[in-house]
């Protein structure tokens, strides 16, 4: 366990595997494809490899990893799935704050942020508020925990991100993958102080204090992968990159995905609508950017990490 090919992380940690679809971004789930390939092995049930499964024997794995790492928590499932009991969520999220794990950064992604406040309330009723915990781990939402949501379009962004921004976590982030439409995240990003705009663009984080609340600290984005991957339009990606640049938020672009058509230039309007909503396969005779461009956007890598 631990090895991963996911570009933005060093290791994956899966004390929980399995999930169920909740939105359009789940249609071609990579984790489900992988679980089906591994059924009957490595803890994936043979009869139903992607059902929610607990692996308590894996809970202490990060405690034995010596090298400081970015760790993706539950890359093969959703920690806040309805079938995961509150006490197991707490057991998982205690690990980041353990003495042996403080050298790591832990990254959690969920498509079910509405579950987090309920879980947190249940946890606090048992152990006290987050700020009052006095046992080790000192806090269930440690400073090395990055809590995030996965979104695929404007609808899921507007549903999930506002809930995330209400959670008292030290770091908040979003993964826009697969990106299935243009998304405006500007209202969820820091606003620059207009007086020091140029200084801010040169690297100083001067945030407009008139805008209250929490903001996203990191944005990761990528195209869809797999045999039925849907295309990522370049303009969607450029728009998201520019929003992050203006706000001074690190932007990490993984790849174009494996779609054979990342260009709408030759599509009729009716074909564009069908292509985006029903996943009809269409191969552009001119471009094959998913193959040719890899992870470059306008000839440049965008692989920015938060400090």
Task: Answer yes or no: is 4 within a domain.
Answer: no
Average of pLDDT values for 29-58?
94
Task: Answer yes or no: is 178 within a domain.
Answer: yes
Q: Is the pLDDT of residue 203 over 90?
A: no
Least confident of 33-37, 150-154, 285-289, 296-300: 285-289
Residue carrying the six token digits 């940690």: 13
Task: Answer yes or no: is 3 within a domain.
Answer: no
Region for 188 from its dihedrals, namely left if φ exceeds 0, alpha if ψ lies in -120 to 50, beta otherwise: alpha
Task: Answer yes or no: is 5 within a domain.
Answer: no
Helix (H) or strand (E) holding 115: helix 115-127
Three state DSSP letters for 257-287? CCCCCCCCCCCCHHHHHHHHHHCCCCCCCCC
**Residue 258's pLDDT is what?**
78
Task: Answer yes or no: is 231 within a domain.
Answer: yes
**Residue 254's pLDDT is what?**
94
Task: Answer yes or no: is 148 within a domain.
Answer: yes
**Residue 233's pLDDT is what?**
83
Q: Is the pLDDT of residue 239 over 90?
A: yes
Q: Is the pLDDT of residue 144 over 80?
A: yes
Task: Answer yes or no: is 116 within a domain.
Answer: yes
The answer to whether 175 and 161 are in contact (CB under 8 A) is no
Q: Cis before residue 54, ω within 30 degrees of 0?
A: no
Q: Which residues contact 23 (CB under 8 A, 6 or more apart)?
A: 111, 152, 156
- From CA 268, how far away is CA 16, in angstroms rounded? 44
Confidence of residue 261 (pLDDT cuts 50, 70, 90): low
Confidence of residue 165 (pLDDT cuts 50, 70, 90): very high
Average of pLDDT values for 24-31?
95
User: Count of CB atoms within 10 A of residue 27's CB?
Assistant: 16
Task: Answer yes or no: is 42 within a domain.
Answer: yes
Residue 148 lies in domain? 11-301
For 92-131, what is each residue's pLDDT tens digit?
999 998 888 999 999 999 999 999 999 998 887 765 544 4
Average of pLDDT values for 24-53?
94
For 48-95, what is each residue's pLDDT tens digit?
999 999 999 999 999 999 999 999 999 999 999 999 999 999 999 999
- From CA 284, how far away is CA 302, in angstroms rounded? 25
Q: What's the domain count of the chain?
A: 1
Phi, psi dihedral angles at 198 (to 5 degrees):
-70, -40
Confidence of residue 140 (pLDDT cuts 50, 70, 90): low
């Amino acid at each position: 366990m631990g090895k991963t090919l996911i570009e933005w992380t060093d290791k994956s940690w899966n004390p929980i595997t399995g999930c169920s679809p909740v939105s359009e971004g789940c249609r071609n789930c990579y984790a489900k494809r992988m679980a089906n390939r591994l059924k009957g092995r490595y803890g994936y049930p043979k009869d139903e490899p992607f059902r929610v499964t607990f692996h308590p024997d894996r809970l202490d794995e990060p405690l034995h990893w010596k090298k400081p790492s970015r760790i993706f928590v539950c890359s093969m499932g959703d920690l806040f799935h309805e079938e995961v009991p509150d006490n197991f969520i707490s057991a998982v999220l205690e690990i980041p704050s353990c003495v042996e794990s403080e050298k790591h950064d832990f990254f959690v992604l969920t498509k079910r942020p509405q579950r987090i406040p309920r879980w947190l309330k249940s946890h606090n009723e048992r152990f006290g508020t987050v700020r009052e915990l006095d046992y080790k781990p000192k806090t269930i939402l440690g400073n090395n925990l990055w809590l995030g949501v996965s979104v695929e379009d404007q609808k899921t962004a507007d549903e999930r991100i506002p809930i995330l921004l209400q959670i008292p976590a030290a770091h908040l982030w979003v993964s826009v993958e697969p990106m299935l439409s243009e998304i405006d995240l500007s209202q969820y990003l820091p606003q620059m102080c207009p007086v020091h705009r140029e200084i801010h663009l040169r690297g100083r984080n001067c945030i407009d204090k008139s805008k209250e609340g929490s903001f996203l600290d990191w944005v990761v984005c990528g195209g869809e992968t797999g045999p039925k991957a849907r295309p990522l339009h370049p303009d969607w990606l450029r728009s998201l990159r520019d929003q992050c640049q203006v706000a001074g938020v690190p932007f990490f672009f993984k790849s174009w995905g494996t779609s054979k058509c990342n260009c709408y230039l030759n599509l009729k309007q009716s074909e564009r609508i069908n292509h985006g909503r029903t996943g009809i396969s269409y191969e552009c005779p001119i471009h094959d950017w998913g193959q040719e461009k890899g992870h470059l956007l306008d000839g440049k890598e965008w692989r920015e990490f938060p400090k």
